[in-house]
Structure 1
Amino acid sequence: MPGPAGVWQNAVSRRRNHSRWLGVAIAQDAFDLMDALGIGAFHIVGHDWGGRATYHMAAMAPARLLSATVIAIGYSPRGRFTVPAYPQCARWWYQWFMTAEAGAQAVRNDPIGFARRQWDTWGPTAWITEDAFAVAAQAFSNRTGSRLLFTATSRAGKLRPMDPDYDAARAMVDATETLEVPMLFLQGGADECDPPEESEGLESYFSGGYRRQVLSGVVISLRVKPPWKWRISSVSTSAVTRTVDD
């Protein structure tokens, strides 16, 4: 299974700065992968940063996407980050925390403790087990991945150099406010990092069809236990099919 730069066993070229971890870079990497596989048009599902990349892909090459499903993160027209209301700012504390060098150093010193704080506060804790966290913590201690996490997440509060290779892609995203790709949006009703109210009222930005489905009592997160993953996957698959058919 291919993964983004810095994840699993994938290395990061020293010639690239970490703006490759931005949404437009992930989007372009996804198109490049499909090109290499000889796949022209396809369905796409994206979560969190992958969700932002999915929105970017819909702006960059809508004809190639048969449908799109985004999980947890609402659409930001033209790909622009705006400072949210204070309650959401508090939920995204880690983004502001890492823009300060002292905060960034604290994360470098204890990436596992940093991750555990998010596990404990982003949703119900009943599904967390120490064994599951121990397995996940192996990824948190990946120094390359942690460095990319710091660079991408802290970008919300601090400007960093952009890779000029993505100027054209950023221009396409910046010029697109309404997306024409059929879109399904899945929201966890118990998500305490990206709560349902943060994704309300976005219907007008989708001209090709838009469905928003809030899953009661669910935290849609890559950190959840397998039973939750399977429940989300089954909802996503059936709902995407209905979106395309509609």
Structure 2
Amino acid sequence: MHPVLARFLAADAARETLHKQQSGGALSAEEQAFTDAASANPKHKAVLLGVGGRTLSTDAQASLVLLAAHAAVRALDQDATLAEPTKKAREALAEEGASPEETDAFLASILLEEAFGYEQDVDAFDSEYVKEALGEVPALAALTKEAVDALFLTFVKGAANDAERKVREGMARALFDIAWSEGPAPINPEHMEAVLDAEVVDRPEEEQEAKVQATAQLLQALSKEGLIGPIRLSRLRALLGEDDA
């Protein structure tokens, strides 16, 4: 988990920083990142300031997570390792028409995935994974509906026979519909879980094996297109039970 995200997921630290800003106190770089994120999201700031105590409502918790994640995104610009890939990711999203708010939300989702998406130590920050995920953004941002259709057709046509072609078609359509229904985004564990629940769970064993194999092959194909990096590929394949991931 990014240290800025970790710090401001604590409601007391978040509120204290906002009160410190209001009183004109000097802010550290991390605190400035958080107050900037709060100023850019005034509704969430108001929700957070409007509650007291350590037990937060669902809305307040959501606001806290959003502000903490957006603060961490701002901190990426000052990170010696991640500043350049962050800049390139921002430029790629802007070139495809994303607003600054949409860009921040996209980048925040990457940091939240790193923090909570896998069974990793939440106290550690996997900078290499985030760097890779940021590097996936230009290819994802440039992905058009026509390009997705072409990926789909190429993958389906690569089947060895009609039975495999049918399985590939079903799994590719399911994954693309779930992961990219609102536009291309990094394929993450939630997408994989949804696909497996919809297409694999409670099916006959032979059908399960064929569908899992087709999904692993699809992930590999997307990796060759630069849409999935090697670390993400390994982790997603592991979710499928691929021992060589």
Q: TM-score, normalised by structure 2?
A: 0.27
Larger helix share, 1 or 2:
2
Q: TM-score, normalised by structure 1?
A: 0.27
Larger strand share, 1 or 2:
1
Which of the pair has more CA radius of gyration? 2
Higher relative contact order (CA 8 A, sep 6+): 1
